[in-house]
Amino acid sequence: MYHVIYYGALVLSDGGVCCIDEFDKMSDATRSVLHEVMEQQTVSIAKAGIITTLNARTSIIAAANPVGSKYDVNPPISRNIDLPPTLISRFDLLYLVLDRVDEAMDRKLAQHLAGLYLEDTPIRDTEDILEQQTVSIAKAGIITTLNARTSIIAAANPVGSKYDVNPPISRNIDLPPTLISRFDLLYLVLDRVDEAMDRKLAQHLAGLYLEDTPIRDTEDILPLQELSAYIDYARSKIQPVITEAAGTELVSSYVEMRNMGDDPRASEKRITATTRQLESMIRLSEAHARMRFSEFVELQDVKEACRLMREAIRTSADSRTGKIDMGMLNTGTGQGRRKMRDDMRKEVRGLLQGAGGARGIKWSEAIKRLGDQSSVKVDVAEFNGFMKSA
C-alpha cells in the first residue's frame, strides 16, 4: 500500500504569496496550521505513518469580515474579529477597511471602476474584473478551477411562507446576508388584494382554456425557441463598451445613491449603496445595451439600470423609519436596529443596577419595564435575540 501526500495552498505557495479570503470562515483545524507556518515557515505532517516537514516559506495576505459583517467602533478590535489573538498578533500589519460615506472618495472609486469599461480603455480581460464566476475544487487530490459564467435567477419563499412587512427583510428570508447582497436586483413579489389586477390575472388564466380562443399571430409574444436564440446571440456576440457620457452618468448616479444616507441629525451615516451596487449598475447597463444589439452602452442604458437599482434597493428600507439602509441586506441589521440595541443594552444595565442587592430580574419583568420606559413597543423576539448575543 502506498500513501501519497497532496500539497495544500501554503506548501504550493512556497517562495511566493498566499492570499486568503474569508479568513474568518476557516475551520479551527486549518487555522492551527498557520501558527507554525507564520512562525517557522514550515508545515509538519504526522499522518498514516508519514512523518515529515515541508517548506512553506510564503507571505500571507488575509482578509476577514468582522463579527456580524459590520465593524463596531465602540468595542476593541478583538471583539470585532472572530480570530484568536495569538494568530492576529503574528501578522506584521493589520488594517481596518471601513466603508465611510465620503463624496470625494466615492466619486474617485466610481470613476476608477467605470473607467475599466470605457470605450477608449485598452483591451482587457473583462471576465475577472468584477466577478470570479468560477467554481474551485479541492477534493480527492484534485485541485482545479472550473468556469461558471452564468447568470443566476432565484426565487425563495419567506419564513413561514408569509412575508411580514414589519420585521426587516433579513428576518423574512432565511438566507445569509452575505449571499443575498451578491444579487444585482432583489424584488419582493407580494400577494396583495387588488380588484383590477385580480380581474386581469383571472381573465388571462381563464382565457388560456376558452374553446374559441383564436391563434393570434399578431400578439407580441416570442416563441421560446426564438427567445433562447435571441439571448444566446446577445450574450455571445454583443460585447458593448461604455461611452464617456454613460460613464459620467454611472459615477453621478452612484454618488447620488451614496448621499441618500446623509442625515445631519444622525451620528452615523446610513450606507445606502456600496460598490456592489455600482458593479450591478455596470452589468445592468451592459445587459440593456445587449438587448438593443448595441456595441456601446449609452446614456439611456445607464438611466434604465439606475431606475431598476433604485426600485430594487427599496426592499432594504427600514420598516420602522422607511429609510433605505443597505446594512439590512449586507449584515442583516440596519442602523436603526443597531441604535435600538445599543439603547436596549443601556436600559438593561440600568435595570440590573437598580435591582440593588437582588440576584437579578425576571425575564418577563425586564420586558415589561423596558416597554413602560420606551415610546416604541418592545419586540419580544428582538429582546430575546439581543440577550442571546449580549
CATH 1.10.2020.10 correct for 9-98:
no
Can you give the pLDDT at residue 183? Answer: 84
Q: What pLDDT is attached to residue 267?
A: 54
Architecture field, domain 99-121+158-205+237-333: 3-Layer(aba) Sandwich (3.40)
Phi/psi at 349 (nearest 5 deg)? Answer: -60, -40
> What is the pTM (predicted TM-score) of this model?
0.67
pLDDT at site 126: 39
Q: Which helix (H) or strand (E) holds 378?
A: none
Nearest 5 degrees, angle CA 282-CA 285-CA 290? 125
The predicted structure's pLDDT at residue 291: 93
In angstroms, how far is CA 137 from the centroid of its own chain? 23
Strand partners of residue 145: 136
Q: Tell me which long-range contacts 141-145 makes (C-beta under 8 A, separation of at least 24).
A: 141/4, 141/6, 143/6
What value, to the nearest 5°, has the Cα angle with vertex 246 and ends 241 and 251?
A: 115
Q: Where are the beta strands (DSSP E) in the chain?
A: 17-20, 42-47, 50-55, 59-62, 134-139, 142-147, 241-242, 296-297
Name which of 171, 186, 96 is nearest 334 in CA terms: 171
Cell of 157: 419563499
Q: Per-10-residue mean pLDDT for the chain, 390 residues long? A: 69 89 82 85 81 88 84 79 85 88 88 80 44 73 80 87 76 78 83 91 85 58 86 91 91 88 60 84 93 93 92 68 59 59 68 62 69 63 59
